[in-house]
Amino acid sequence: KQEVTQIPAALSVPEGENLVLNCSFTDSAIYNLQWFRQDPGKGLTSLLLIQSSQREQTSGRLNASLDKSSGRSTLYIAASQPGDSATYLCASPITQGGSEKLVFGKGTKLTVNP
C-alpha cells in the first residue's frame, strides 16, 4: 500500500531564499510522481511530473528530483517570491480497477514573506 508523506506541514521563509520541499513514499515501484500547487479555495495546478525512469525535472525556478531507492522526492524552489506562497502537494499513482488513482501527501503550506 502506497503512503505519501510531506514534512514539514508548514514552512515560512523570507523572500529570495532558496528552499526545498520534501515528499516521501513507501512503495518504490512507482510509475511517476507529480507535484502540484494549490492556492486557497482554488484547484490544483500541476507543476512537474517525474517519470520513474527520470531523476529530475525542471521548469523555470522549480526543480523536482526523484530517488526511488530512498523513497524520496524533493521540490527545489529558487529565489522564492511572495507569489510562491501556496500549499504544495505531491502525489503518486496506484492502479485500482484497471485505472489509476493518485495517493496524495497532506501538503506543505509555504509562506514567502516580503
Partner 1 sequence: DTEVTQTPKHLVMGMTNKKSLKCEQHMGHRAMYWYKQKAKKPPELMFVYSYEKLSINESVPSRFSPECPNSSLLNLHLHALQPEDSALYLCASSHDNPSYNEQFFGPGTRLTVL
Query: Which residues would be at the binding site for partner 1 (CB under 8 A)?
Result: 31-32, 34, 36, 41-46, 49, 51, 89, 91, 93, 95-102, 104-107
Question: 56-76 burial by CB neighbour count: b if 16+ within 10 A, else e?
Answer: ebeeeebbbbbebeebbbbbe
CB 105 to partner 1: min, Å: 7
Determine the 3-state secondary structure of 82 from DSSP.
Answer: helix
Q: Which is nearer to partner 1, 69 or 96 (CB)?
A: 96
What's the grid cell of residue 84?
510562491
Shortest distance in whole angstroms from residue 49 CB to partner 1? 4
Which residue's CB is nearer to partner 1, number 13 or number 102? 102
